Amino acid sequence: MTKQAQELIKAYGLRKTSCRLDILHLFLTNEHALAHADIEQTLNDRYDRVTIYRTLYAFKEKGLLHSINDVSGAIKYALCQEACDQHQHYDNHIHFSCTACGQTFCISEVHIPPMQLPAGYKADKLHFSAEGLCKTCSQATAQN
């Protein structure tokens, strides 16, 4: 797993630091999106919040992570799964927020279709979010 993080850092032309590797490892091992606070909570004995903030910013700039405006108002980050690079992000998929566990997931299987806007409007990014029960939580509910 750490090897995967190292390969990604290299592939995206980033300088390898232990903070970058550790943060990337967190994203690779979690299925859901992570907020700054989640990362800080896990790694706060090793890196301060500014270092974590700068790392997230660098990852976003390079097209490695995209940010999600969660329905709760929190900003979360998730790995880019498409051909994102430092020039543009192509994460036109739905973000699903679970009302039971509070986690946010990228639903990369569902793409947002191009939207016909009135003349004069030019959208750079579309935000689509869905709310409900995630895979894990809906299974837990079904068993009860």
Cα dihedral 18, 59, 105, 111 in deg (nearest 10): -150
Task: For residue 74, give both structure tokens.
Answer: 């929190």
Provide the minimum distance between the beta carbon of 46 and Zn ion in the complex, in angstroms, as a whole number. 26
Shortest distance in whole angstroms from residue 42 CB to Zn ion:
19
With respect to Zn ion, which residue has the nearer C-beta, 51 or 129? 129
Structure tokens at 5: 């993080």
The window from 10-18, 34-42, 43-51, 63-71 that contacts Zn ion (CB under 5 A) reads: 63-71
Total residues in contact with Zn ion, by rule CB under 5 A: 12
Query: Please, which residue, 47 or 66, has the CB nearer to Zn ion?
Result: 66
Q: Which residues within the stretch 3-32 sit at the binding site for Zn ion (CB under 5 A)? A: none
Long-range CB contacts (< 8 A, 24+ apart) of 118-127? 125/89, 125/92, 126/92, 127/69, 127/95
b/e per residue 64-92 (b: at least 16 CB within 10 A): bbbbbebeeebebbbbbeeebeeeebebb
89: left (phi over 0), alpha (psi -120 to 50) or beta: beta
Q: Which is nearer to Zn ion, 10 or 127 (CB)?
A: 127
Residues between 75 and 114 that touch Zn ion (CB under 5 A): 78, 80, 84, 89, 91, 98, 100-101, 106
In the chain, the amino acid numbered 50 is V
Among 32, 62, 66, 76, binds Zn ion (CB under 5 A): 66
Nearer to Zn ion, 6 or 92 (CB): 92
In the complex, the residues that contact Zn ion under the rule CB under 5 A are 66, 78, 80, 84, 89, 91, 98, 100-101, 106, 134, 137
